[in-house]
Amino acid sequence: MKVSAIASLFGKEVLVGIDVGSSSLKAIQVEPTRDGFRVVRAAQQKTPPGAIRDGVVHDRDAVAGAIRQMIKAANITANAAVIAVSGPTVFVRQIQLPKMPDAALKRSIPYEAGRFISSNVDDSAIAYEVLGAAADDPNLLDVMLVAAPKEMVDSRVNVVERAGLDVVSTDIESFALIRSLIDTQYARYNDGQLRAIVDVGAGHTEVTILLGTKFQLTRAVSIAGDTFTDALKNQLRLDTPEAEQRKTELDLNVLIHGSDNPGDYEAPRALQSVMDELLREVRRSVVFYQSNLPEGTPAQNVVEVILAGGSAQMMGLAPYVTARLGLEARVGDPFENPAIEAAPEAMQWLRSQSPRLGCALGLAAKDFMVPQNAIK
């Protein structure tokens, strides 16, 4: 991990990473250490029900109030924030363009974005970063292009500012996860192997493919935590609070190893069909990546699936993914890392909530790390 302490030494802003999710809000504040980071403040709070839909904050007063309450309760001292966007309407892709002056490149980016996104370019927030000369042709540039609906970006910036913080940067959730799970252990993952991060949130799942530490693609899938809740509601005739509770209690291991208690099968079987459809989408994402590799590129298989997001906390999910995909799967824990420090009592809570907190940690660390993938 490469860390820069310049921002903390000379900058006036104290940053907090805020993950604005449709199910929960997360905030983490870090400070650089000699070998990594120390988590000095962290908090999590339920998002007001129905306040965020399709990534857009519709009830801004409610969400701003919840963020303000969370920051106050955790004694977060930051005055500025880094936030993120994600979802099916967020476009992230590495493209190739002819070499050209910076001014010409800047003018051409909206046109290039218009070739890929279905919405009007004028309604999109667009960012890009030149990654360098293309490996296969020195006359071409590798460029990371990102586009997101302005309504989504503006709504998130607005609620965080209403909560009393300046928003200094808007990132991509998959980049933030790469930062917390992969870049903080750069030497471990800089091996050229193919991996998938499967971030199972409430409203959607993000499947991100990495080659070593390098981002390759990210794809949003509509099957996620809310889908699991709906399956339990419909098949077991439960209301929403009951279904959410059953989701925290079920154990998917019974679908692999069996159980002597017939009642243990009820909830896992109610989820099995939607869970299997999600894993088919994960497999399709990998196949899509492999099918778009340049001709002559050696075939490479995924060596590991890293699970993240709130639904990654379901018991038995990693073993079930391993059994169904035939790939090693584990729940990612950014705090299982000697480079990430915290007080012992805080670390215990951080570890227990680690699948939910990876994005917020990656956002908090953004200004302190030499970028590997992120748009500046």
Kindly state whether residue 375 falls inside one of the protein's structural domains: no
CA dihedral sign, ordered 241, 242, 243, 248: positive
Kindly state whether residue 350 falls inside one of the protein's structural domains: yes
pLDDT tens by residue, 63-81: 999 999 999 999 999 999 9
Kindly state whether residue 192 falls inside one of the protein's structural domains: yes
Extract the tokens encoding 43. Answer: 């908090």
- Total domains in the fold of the chain: 1
Kindly state whether residue 178 falls inside one of the protein's structural domains: yes
Instruction: State the residue range of the domain holding 243.
Output: 6-368
Q: Can you tell me the distance from the alpha carbon of 259 to that of 265, in angstroms, rounded to the nearest whole number? A: 8
User: Minimal CA–CA distance to 148: which of 202, 94, 86, 209?
Assistant: 86
Average pLDDT on 281-303 reads 90
User: At CA 336, angle to CA 335 and CA 337, rounded to 5?
Assistant: 85
pLDDT score of 328 more than 60: yes
Confidence band of 370 (pLDDT split at 50, 70, 90): low
Kindly state whether residue 182 falls inside one of the protein's structural domains: yes
Kindly state whether residue 201 falls inside one of the protein's structural domains: yes
Residue 18 is predicted with a pLDDT of: 98
pLDDT tens by residue, 76-111: 999 999 999 999 999 999 999 999 999 999 999 999
The total of other beta-carbon atoms located within 10 Å of residue 315's CB is 16
Of the ranges 2-16, 218-232, 351-365, which one carries the lowest mean pLDDT score? Answer: 2-16
pLDDT score of 119 more than 90: no
Confidence band of 12 (pLDDT split at 50, 70, 90): low
pTM for this one? 0.92
Residue 115: which CATH number?
3.30.420.40
Alpha helices (H) in 190-239, listed in sequence order? 225-236
User: Minimal CA–CA distance to 284: which of 356, 350, 209, 349?
Assistant: 209
Average pLDDT on 116-125 reads 86
pLDDT tens by residue, 183-218: 999 999 999 999 999 999 999 999 999 999 999 999
Mutual orientation of helices 173-181 and 354-364 as an angle, nearest 10°? 100
Kindly state whether residue 373 falls inside one of the protein's structural domains: no
Kindly state whether residue 79 falls inside one of the protein's structural domains: yes
Average pLDDT on 220-243 reads 96
